[in-house]
Amino acid sequence: MCGIVGYIGPRDATPIVLNGLKRLEYRGYDSAGLAVLQNGSIAVRRDAGKLDRLIDLVGQSPISGAPGIGHTRWATHGAPSARNAHPHLGSTGRVVVVHNGIVENFLELRDELTAEGVNFNSETDTETIVHLVEHYLATGLNLTEAARKTFLDIQGAHGIVLMSADEPDKIVCARLGNAGGVVVGLGEGENYIASDIPAILEHTRQVIFLESHQMAVVTREGARVESLEGKPVQAEVHSVSWDPVAAEKGEFRHFMQKEIHEQVRSLTDTLAGRVDFENGRIRLPELNLSPELAQRITKIFITACGTAAYAGMVGKYLIEKIARLPVELEIGSEFRYRDPIIDENTVVLAISQSGETADTLAAMEEGRRKGAVLWSIVNAIGSQAMRIADGYISMQTGPEIGVASTKAFTAPLVDLYMLAVLLAELRGVIDEQTRRNLVADLRFVPDLASRALNTEPIVEKVAWALKDVRDCLYLGRGINMPIAYEGALKLKEISYIHAEGYPAGEMKHGPIALIDRDMPVVCLAPRDPWYEKMISQIQQAKARGGTVVAVATEGDELVGGMADHIIPVPEAPWMLSPVVTVIPLQMLAYHIAAIRGLDVDQPRNLAKSVTVE
């Protein structure tokens, strides 16, 4: 998610905007910029890198004036660079915009605007917004009406703030869909706009939260809120009591919990602009996957570390099942020591949230050395794993602050599913109806995640029951076997409880000797093709006195009657079921660690990105 700050009033906007952006640094970003109205013109300073770089830039080449707007960007379309950084000026230089979200129909809009003779200066989807506003201004509309028309034209979830040198008495902002918030802060003869409360708390605690599909015209005197259709809204003014640090986490105690709950948004975003539901097709333009390449690939080698590797294990099931393409999986730290069998028809697919994990990068280098095609699925745009790949898929989850990866685990599950469908189509191994059905199932993903999140009260009760255990087994089969590994890793890394993920079918070959009343067993038993096998697994664990926690499809009375604790998840297409089965396990690990009073966001001995081998 990007950070946004705006100011309109008698003071110089520059320091207010820069300080506000500083308060939003926790959100993570890779470029920053601001624009102020200076002597009747719009002055912009922006660059890739951190805020200190921008502050230096402003120090070397000062700008001052008001109103002003600023932005910290987490790149989704277009690598972090000065020309892709916000704010974006239109062709006239009289209108400027900052934006949070993804313009899902930006390709079509850019084509239409280019056909009208508009020149684009960046690779961003955001630039289509400012050119569209200028397009409507040129028809004689004022800024408010031109902005309204633009807001109605663009698809997706957005927070948008824009201003014009020709109407310096206002800033126009809007919230479309469930994008990160747009907050209007009310002062005395001056007013503020921000994507998050911490940016303006030092100035005011009186705030208006824009709801989805609302816009506001903010002047020195106040804010007029209305629906996009122009219907006035009597917006409630809230008095914020949060302290700035608490405000950064919103209503959550830790970033990890916040990010677990952001998964409805992050899954929506990872799908954004990539799924053509009407024609049942997937588009992954940054992957540079031609039909020729798709047809000549003979093997995909997935390589990653930790949680990302478990996402890769799910990817193996998906790609082999849907695209009928052989997939090998090797963890990054082992890859190059096994002299992998690779040729020019092999794809090495790296999965990495940070895109900077040394073991994963080393595996990519080995793949390159052996002539493989390199792909990556990354969250950090501009990271090494993105830059060295021949093609990539961005997770588009926004920054993940908690060391324990959550939303950057479920997003690649969906990215791998989309990749499998695209490969299947280009390799001609799937008929149209099957492809349409697989694509249609993606529509349910955000809602399935939302319903899985609703089990939190039940999960919290289970956490209280397990909070003092010393060991724990996680069992799964088939596509949910990797979720057993991932659930165990979550518990290990933030609660320091020894936990082990295991293929359920392997238990009878030795590990079942471990089970007794002191060894709780978490069983993943959703209604998937391995359901019956998991039923007998639960019976075996119970027969040995084990305490069983079952993640099962809601309404499953059979499992409910057998398990000691039941966590119900919504029924999901089995190839997407890992998205719903992992969420309760993320919450279980979180609540156990929180109950134990541990540092959930910064667990001992761990780093968010392991950039050493």
If 0-12 CB within 10 Å is exposed, 13-18 middle and 19+ buried, where does residue 246 land? middle
- CB neighbours of residue 10 within 10 Å: 8
Size of the site for ligand AGP (CB under 6 A): 15
Instruction: Note whether 333 binds ligand AGP by CB under 6 A.
Output: no
Instruction: Note whether 404 binds ligand AGP by CB under 6 A.
Output: yes
Q: How far apart are CA 270 and CA 396, in angstroms?
A: 5
Retrieve residue 333's tokens. Answer: 């730290």
Q: Give the residue with the Cβ less far from ligand AGP, 81 or 360.
A: 360
Instruction: Note whether 257 binds ligand AGP by CB under 6 A.
Output: no
Assess contact for 272 and 102: CB atoms under 8 A. Answer: yes
Q: Give the residue with the Cβ less far from ligand AGP, 135 or 492.
A: 492
The residues, any chain, with a CB within 8 Å of residue 597's CB and separated by 6 or more, are none
Q: For the CB of residue 165, give the shortest distance to ligand AGP in the complex, in Å.
A: 42
Interior angle at CA 548, CA 542 and CA 552, nearest 5: 115
Retrieve residue 225's tokens. Answer: 């809120």
CA distances from 410 to 109, 285, 413 (A): 30, 21, 5
Retrieve residue 21's tokens. Answer: 């952006």
Q: Using CB under 6 A, which of 81, 126, 257, 360 touches ligand AGP?
A: 360
Q: Give the residue with the Cβ less far from ligand AGP, 396 or 405.
A: 405
Q: For the CB of residue 349, give the shortest distance to ligand AGP in the complex, in Å.
A: 13
Assess contact for 584 and 567: CB atoms under 8 A. Answer: yes
3-state SS string for 85-115: CCCEECCCCCEEEEEEECCCCHHHHHHHHHH
Q: Give the residue with the Cβ less far from ligand AGP, 380 or 569.
A: 380
Instruction: Note whether 397 binds ligand AGP by CB under 6 A.
Output: no
Q: For the CB of residue 329, give the shortest distance to ligand AGP in the complex, in Å.
A: 14
Q: For the CB of residue 572, give the shortest distance to ligand AGP in the complex, in Å.
A: 23
Q: Using CB under 6 A, which of 191, 263, 303, 354 touches ligand AGP?
A: 354
Which range in 246-254, 399-407, 474-482, 503-511 contacts ligand AGP by CB under 6 A? 399-407
Phi, psi of 569 (to 5 degrees): -120, 155
Tally the C-alpha atoms within 13 A of residue 159's C-alpha that lie toward its C-beta: 26
Q: What residues between 474 and 503 interact with ligand AGP by CB under 6 A? A: 493
Q: Name the residues annotated as catalytic.
A: 2, 608
Q: Give the residue with the Cβ less far from ligand AGP, 176 or 413.
A: 413
Tally the C-alpha atoms within 13 A of residue 239's C-alpha that lie toward its C-beta: 0
H-assigned helices in 383-480: 384-387, 407-426, 432-441, 445-453, 456-466
Q: Give the residue with the Cβ less far from ligand AGP, 159 or 476.
A: 476
Instruction: Note whether 609 binds ligand AGP by CB under 6 A.
Output: yes
Instruction: Note whether 191 binds ligand AGP by CB under 6 A.
Output: no
Retrieve residue 257's tokens. Answer: 């919990």
> 129-149: string of b/e by CB count within 10 Å (b at 16+)?
bbbbbbbbbeeebebbebbbb
Instruction: Note whether 100 binds ligand AGP by CB under 6 A.
Output: no
Q: Give the residue with the Cβ less far from ligand AGP, 379 or 553.
A: 379
CA Rg value for the chain: 25
Q: For the CB of residue 40, give the shortest distance to ligand AGP in the complex, in Å.
A: 47
Q: For the CB of residue 305, give the shortest distance to ligand AGP in the complex, in Å.
A: 4
Q: For the CB of residue 321, give the shortest distance to ligand AGP in the complex, in Å.
A: 24
Q: Give the residue with the Cβ less far from ligand AGP, 360 or 480.
A: 360
Instruction: Note whether 353 binds ligand AGP by CB under 6 A.
Output: yes
Q: For the CB of residue 406, give the shortest distance to ligand AGP in the complex, in Å.
A: 8
Instruction: Note whether 610 binds ligand AGP by CB under 6 A.
Output: yes
Q: Report the phi/psi class of residue 85: left, alpha or beta, with left for phi > 0 and alpha for psi in -120 to 50.
A: beta
Which range in 150-158, 402-410, 472-480, 528-536 contacts ligand AGP by CB under 6 A? 402-410
Q: How far apart are CA 55 and CA 18, in angstroms?
A: 8
Q: Using CB under 6 A, which of 76, 352, 397, 495 touches ligand AGP?
A: 352
Q: Give the residue with the Cβ less far from ligand AGP, 272 or 403.
A: 403
Assess contact for 327 and 320: CB atoms under 8 A. Answer: yes
Q: Give the residue with the Cβ less far from ligand AGP, 440 or 607.
A: 607
Q: For the CB of residue 385, give the shortest distance to ligand AGP in the complex, in Å.
A: 8
Q: What residues between 291 and 310 interact with ligand AGP by CB under 6 A? A: 305-308
The residues, any chain, with a CB within 8 Å of residue 574's CB and separated by 6 or more, are 478, 479, 526, 527, 528, 529
Which range in 111-119, 213-221, 349-357, 557-565 contacts ligand AGP by CB under 6 A? 349-357
Residue nearest to ligand AGP (CB): 306
Find, among 177, 108, 166, the residue nearest to 142 by Cα: 166
Q: For the CB of residue 99, give the shortest distance to ligand AGP in the complex, in Å.
A: 26
Q: Give the residue with the Cβ less far from ligand AGP, 20 or 603.
A: 603
Token pair 């604790």 in the structure block, residue: 565
Q: How far apart are CA 440 and CA 489, in angstroms?
A: 32
Rounded (to 5) percent helix, strand, coil in the chain: 40, 20, 35
Instruction: Note whether 357 binds ligand AGP by CB under 6 A.
Output: yes
Q: Using CB under 6 A, which of 76, 128, 346, 405 touches ligand AGP?
A: 405
Which range in 2-10, 398-406, 453-461, 475-483 contacts ligand AGP by CB under 6 A? 398-406
Q: For the CB of residue 419, give the shortest distance to ligand AGP in the complex, in Å.
A: 17
Residue ranges in contact with ligand AGP by CB under 6 A: 305-308, 352-354, 357, 360, 403-405, 493, 609-610
